[in-house]
Amino acid sequence: MEYIQQIAFVIVTAFAAYFLSRRIKQITKNIQLGKGTDRGDKSPERWKNMFLVAFGQKKMFKKMIPAFLHLLIYVGFLIINLEVLEFILDGLLGTHRLFAPFLGEFYTVCINFFELLAVGVLLSCIVFLIRRNILRVKRFSGLEMTSWPTLDANLILIVEIVLMLAILTMNATDQLLQSQNAHYTATGSFFFSGLLMPLFENLSGPALVLIERFAWWFHIIGIFAFAVYVTYSKHLHIFLAFPNTYYANLNEKGKIDNMPEVTNEVKMMLGLPQENGGEQQPPAEIGRFGAKDINDLTWVNIMNAYACTECGRCTAQCPANLTGKKLSPRKIMMDTRDRAEEVGKSITEGGKGLEDGKALLGDYITKEEINACTSCNACVEACPVNIDPLAIILQMRRYIAMEESGSPASWNAMFSNIETSFSPWKFAPTDRFNWADELKSEGK
């Protein structure tokens, strides 16, 4: 029987590894649809950023209650997975409670601590379900929060609750079996699962074994299924938060990067060295100004989209959204991810890919949305994992202005005035300080 379980475990593990590796490769290819950009500078600052923001969840603690509950789930996810390591080794080796004989009483302490975290995760998930479905916290709603994002959020919380109950059920029946079956190693008593033991005391030995094995298999299969499912879910941020914060933009908030294509063009006209240090030669093919589709963005922009938690903090802080305009920074990131998924899937299946007649700008994100942005960086500041929706918005606005001349008429007038008069207002540069002369004459 043990050999059958070992074989079954290896088969389940192999299937999970196959689907997970395939999905990781697809996401990697989707991210690589973006243009290259150098984020290899300031390594010490980047490591610090990742440690404080991703691992330490520094930006979450602007609101203490949800931050504390999220921390319980996060710590529980990291530490309880240490017990999953024992599950995996038991499955491969055909053992049971492999670490118990070696760790002795310390093993009992560890499992009690894991159960404490499991209860914390369970209660936190219940509170989050209440916040989403009964209290209906405003930032969890919006036009972009259609049936799938809403279901995804609820589903993952329910799955986590069931997985935690599976651990407690397994430990409760395991303790009852320790005095009946030699295969079950003595571990000492566990407090929280011990509270469930009265529910199973009157069951026969075979029934207890069935429940214990079912809970064990359910948890293992649940963990593997969760790992695969996460790659299709907003909860991918569990893993991508770390590289996302490491490669985040370290410039001062409000600093807008120049376009290398324009900068090099200007420097070439002025006879100055270009940014890349190369010779002053015109490019063989003029690149696109700004971004129309996913391949015009950088790989960091696309990784940002995959790291989005859909928490809505960015949209809740957006002044344009608060005044009733259509802009939602969360939607910008969700649309970018959806377009990357669509193009990546099409390429993998031998389809048209980027030549499918659609584009990120127009088919997913409208001019009305991006023109409403005030470039205030409130969304960037609010994001708990340093996502930058503004970078995508600015690139698309540049495309509209420079490739389509499709900006609002008042903007085009301003651009023209800046080009000819070096100011937003239509008067000669020599007249710029006439107002000061008028003040002087009035003072006399």
Please write the tens of the pLDDT for every residue from 140-194: 998 899 889 999 999 999 999 999 999 999 999 999 998 888 788 889 899 999 9
Please write the tens of the pLDDT for every residue from 71-81: 899 888 888 87
Per-residue pLDDT, averaged over 116-125, amounts to 94
- pLDDT score at 441: 75
Say whether pTM exceeds 0.85: yes
- pLDDT score at 325: 94
Distance from C-alpha of 336 to C-alpha of 391, rounded to nearest angstrom:
12
Please write the tens of the pLDDT for every residue from 147-157: 899 999 999 99
Comparison of pLDDT for 436 and 73, the residue scoring more:
73
| Contact in structure between 6 and 92 (CB atoms under 8 Å) | yes
For the chain, what is the mean pLDDT?
Answer: 89
| Contact in structure between 390 and 375 (CB atoms under 8 Å) | yes
Of all residues in the chain, the percent with pLDDT exceeding 70 is: 96
Confidence at 2, pLDDT banded by 50, 70, 90: low
| Statement: residue 276 has pLDDT above 60 | no
Distance from C-alpha of 174 to C-alpha of 169, rounded to nearest angstrom:
8
Going from the C-alpha of 422 to that of each of 163, 297, 371, 419, 436, the distances in angstroms are 63, 29, 23, 6, 18
Please write the tens of the pLDDT for every residue from 328-345: 999 999 999 999 999 999
Quick one: which of 343, 339, 341, 344 has its CA closest to 360?
A: 339
| Statement: residue 283 has pLDDT above 70 | no
Per-residue pLDDT, averaged over 90-118, amounts to 90
